[in-house]
Amino acid sequence: MSGYSSPNGLAAVLFSAIGGALAMTVFMGLLLWATSPSPGFVPLTSAALGALSGAILAYFQAKAIQPLAPKGLIPGTAAAAAIGAPVSISVAFPFLLVFGELGIAMGGLALGFAFSAGQFIVLRKHFSGTWPWMPISSLALAVGFVVAFPITSALRLGFYPPFSPGWTAVGAIAGLTYGLLTGIAIACSRLRERYRTIPSNGTRAA
């Protein structure tokens, strides 16, 4: 059997926006501080921050799709983000030197893909047709960073030294933009659930 369910639109946007803003504020606000002792700390600390940010994001996104959220959404997102965060950093910094602020957007694209890949692995077991979530999430975070830098500059929040509030503001604005865009996508979605029937002999069948 299968049926279609739609998340509550306003709640989906609200929870997704809060989760995105909090997750990326934590990630960008703590990243430079956590990696400052030595370059060797970058993979470890960025992975830890990725896991924490992924868990925060998934918690609120699970609220966004309640009561449809599968149990494995939070650990799945955290694990994928722990892997994807160091990759996004390795992408962002070289591109930053060449393309400036767009380099950070490329890192956002990679991190957004990591978030969505972990979620897709979990969601596909419960819903059909969830593959568009990966490009939506990836592009939404990239767009968030593209939007964040001009706004932060207009607010005259500096980026130097590295612990300046500008980086935290970039994370907050990028995450809020990401959350709003993905929240709208969630609100407009119709999730087709995969149900399992239990035959009369008691064995489960797909």
Give me the DSSP letters along 124-190.
TTTEES-TTHHHHHHHHHHHHHHHHHHHHHHTT----STTSHHHHHHHHHHHHHHHHHHHHHHHH--
Q: What is the mean pLDDT of residues 120-131?
A: 86
Flag whether pLDDT at 196 surpasses 60. Answer: no
Flag whether pLDDT at 3 surpasses 80. Answer: no
The token pair at 162 is: 């590295």
Q: Where are the domains of the chain?
A: 2-194
Q: How many CA atoms lie within 13 A of 132 on its CB side?
A: 9
What's the confidence (pLDDT) of residue 8?
Answer: 66
42/36 Cα distance (integer angstroms): 8
Q: What is the mean pLDDT of residues 119-145?
A: 89
